[in-house]
A and B are shown apart, each in its own frame.
Chain A
Amino acid sequence: MPDVISITVNGASITVPLGTTALAAILSTGASSVRRSVSGAPRGPLCGMGVCFECRATVNHRPHSRTCETLCAPGMDIRTGDHVND
């Protein structure tokens, strides 16, 4: 069982340790925001436990996924707020 897995964030391939959440993977690319608010302001995670919904991104083509609750899996495709239509 590998200790690292390969995923893509906004089209770029990265490797992350097994057990990393999608959110941590996004943040590890140097991004601090994950989505844009309804009026366009950059937003990052707040609660870390799945209740605030600020960490939503498109995971495996499913929009509005809470990335703090999602464990990375091999081949996972993650797209954050500004990159949904790439």
Chain B
Amino acid sequence: MKLPVYDVLIVGAGIVGAACAAACAAEGLSVGIAEAEIIGGGATAAGMGHLVVMDDSEAQFALTRYSQTLWQRLAPELPPDVEYEGCGTIWVAADADEMRAVTEKKQFYESRGVPAEILDARALHQAEPNLRAGLPGGLLVPQDAVIYAPCAARFLVEQAQSGGAQLHLPRVVTEIAPDGVRLNDGTSIVAQSIVIAAGTWSAKLLPGIEVRKRKGHLVITDRYPGFVRHQLVELGYLKSAHSLTSDSVAFNIQPRKTGQMLLGSSRQFDKESALIDHGILRRMIARAEEFIPGLGGLSAIRTWTGFRAATPDKLPLIGPMPGYENLFLAAGHEGLGITTSLGTARLLVDQLLQRAPGIPAAPYLPGRVYENVHA
């Protein structure tokens, strides 16, 4: 039995797939979405929903900056349950070395049009009274924001649907075929182009690509409105994101609109189990307590883990897969999937329609890594 023919079939309705579906539908393409379980599940559900501009590399900065602008434009349309909150990020310096890095970071951002403000010790304390005394300061990036990603994914799917997109849920894609995909119920979906936006499941569908699971831990507290006002990230966060081998934690805390505090972050490779790793959890909480001594007294109501989809060069795979006529990737966003979902969608659509992309697409092309993995 065959189902309708689409211009584009998106595999996966996490936030990246949802954004791609919305962007394609907005261009008048006929869109199908195949989702195995839940809209906004997977890493979208597990993560923090931080909309952040990151300067780890020029390419990462370009994509996050581009995406942040798109989120800002979209913000007024977002329904209340997306909980868009323009609380900004403060990158916290723990010592004089990191304070020097703060100055460099500010220059990097401002020279590229991203407002950033250096906070000295006093200003930092005023901005966040619960941070410990003795921190030299930090960098405030006021245009960063926070959203509740599962509902954002749902909003984007609804946008796609009002543009004519059809949702196939629950449907598990088992195989990529020349003309579309095969599903686990024996049926097929025919499509001109296929986009794999399946996060950590992408490598199952396309065994040649390298998208590894990078496990993270999170804790959510009961409601303490105003305890923290901005997303707080330690400057050492990037060191943690860098390490390709060892387990690491970094201080990262987010105020939710509900007044709950969402605490992260940790990174581990080669862990298949979703169970809580007590050692990592302890280190993560202990690290956070070094910045916020009063944190220990907050009531935690749940802990969980999630798997980021990580690529070897830390940049996502966005674009056509070499060796295939009609297969595209939109996966491997590691910890930046929520932020870069909108930018990814735009780059993808530009490539589908073969028009000039909004930012240079080369750094994210699968072709940068893969030549021809078609078996």
Q: Do chains A and B touch in the complex (CB under 8 A)?
A: yes
Per a CB cutoff under 8 Å, which of B224, B258, B297, B299 touches A38?
A: B258
Q: How close is B166's CB to chain A, nearest CB, in angstroms?
A: 35
Chain A positions within 8 Å of B299 at CB level: 63-64
Q: How far is the CB of A74 from chain B (nearest CB, A)?
A: 23
Q: How many residues of A contact B (CB 8 A)?
A: 4
**Which B residues touch A62, using CB under 8 A?**
297
Q: Is the CB of A63 within 8 A of B258?
A: no
B222: Cβ under 8 A from any A Cβ: yes
Within the complex, the shortest CB–CB distance from A81 to chain B, in Å, comes to 11
Q: Which partner residue on chain B sits nearest A61 by CB separation? A: B297
Interface string of B211-253 (1 = CB under 8 A from A): 0000000000011100000000000000000000000000000
Cα-based distance from A47 to B222 in the complex (angstroms): 20
Asked whether, in the complex, the Cβ of A64 is within 8 Å of the Cβ of B222, the reply is: yes
B277-320 CB mask vs A (1 if < 8 Å, else 0) is 00000000000000000000101000000000000000000000
Q: How large is the interface on B (under 10, 10 to 19, 20 to 34, 35 or more residues)?
A: under 10
Of listed A38, A62, A63, residue having the most chain B CB within 10 A: A63
B261 CB to closest chain A CB (Å) equals 13
Task: Point out the residues of chain A lying under 8 angstroms from B224, CB to CB.
Answer: 63
Residues of A26-47 at the interface with B, using a CB-CB cut-off of 8 Å, are 38
Alpha-carbon distance between A62 and B297 when the two chains are bound, in angstroms? 8
Residues of B contacting A38 in the complex (Cβ-Cβ under 8 angstroms): 223, 258
Taken together as a complex, chains A and B put the C-alpha atoms of A38 and B258 apart, in Å, by 9
Q: Which residue of B lies closest to A62 (CB)?
A: B297
Q: Give CA–CA (A69, B59) in the complex, Å.
A: 55
- Complex CA gap A64/B301 in Å reads 11
Contacts of B258 in A (CB 8 A): 38
A62 to B294, alpha carbons, bound, how many Å?
12
Q: In the complex, A38 Cα to B222 Cα: how many Å?
A: 12
- The 0/1 profile, CB within 8 Å of B marked 1, for residues 46-86 of chain A is 00000000000000001110000000000000000000000
Rounded to whole angstroms, the CA-CA distance of A63 and B227 in the bound complex is 13
Cβ-closest chain A residue relative to B224: A63
A63 to B297, CA, bound (A): 10
A56: nearest residue on chain B (CB-CB)?
A: B222
Bound state CA distance, A42 and B297, in angstroms?
26
- A62, B298: Cα distance in complex, Å: 9
A2 to B223, CA, bound (A): 37
Specify which chain A residues have a CB less than 8 angstroms from the CB of B222 in the assembled complex: 63-64
**What is the CA–CA distance of A62 and B224 in the complex, to the nearest angstrom?**
11
Task: Please report the C-alpha to C-alpha distance between residue A63 and residue B225 in the assembled complex, in whole angstroms.
Answer: 12
Chain B's nearest CB lies how many Å from the CB of A64? 5
Residue of chain B at shortest CB distance from A38: B258
By beta carbon, the residue of chain A nearest B221 is: A64
Q: What's the minimum C-beta distance from B339 to chain A, rounded to whole angstroms?
A: 28
Q: Tell me, in angstroms, the Cα distance from A63 to B261 when the chains sit together.
A: 14
The interface residues of chain B lying within 8 Å CB-to-CB of A63 are 222, 224, 299
Chain B nearest CB, measured from A8 CB (Å): 21
Chain B proximity of A56: nearest CB distance (Å): 8
**A63 to B223 Cα, complex, angstroms:** 9
B314 to chain A, nearest CB (A): 39
Q: How far is the CA of A64 from the CA of B222 in the complex (A)?
A: 8
Complex CA gap A63/B294 in Å reads: 13
Q: Considering only CB atoms, which chain B residue lies closest to A65 in the complex?
A: B299
CA distance A45 to B109 in the complex (A): 52
Give chain A residues whose Cβ lies under 8 Å from the Cβ of B297: 62
In the complex, what's the smallest C-beta–C-beta distance from B80 to chain A, in angstroms? 13
Bound complex: CA A70 to CA B59 (Å): 55
Chain A proximity of B212: nearest CB distance (Å) = 39
Question: Lowest 9 A-B CB distances belong to which pairs?
Answer: A64-B222, A64-B299, A63-B224, A62-B297, A38-B258, A63-B222, A63-B299, A64-B223, A38-B223
Q: A38-B223, A64-B299 are in contact. List 7 more A-B contacts (CB 8 A).
A: A38-B258, A62-B297, A63-B222, A63-B224, A63-B299, A64-B222, A64-B223
- Provide 9 A-B residue pairs closer than 8 Å at the C-beta atoms, listed in order of the A residue: A38-B223, A38-B258, A62-B297, A63-B222, A63-B224, A63-B299, A64-B222, A64-B223, A64-B299
A residues at B contact (CB < 8 Å): 38, 62-64
Residues of B within 8 A of A (CB): 222-224, 258, 297, 299
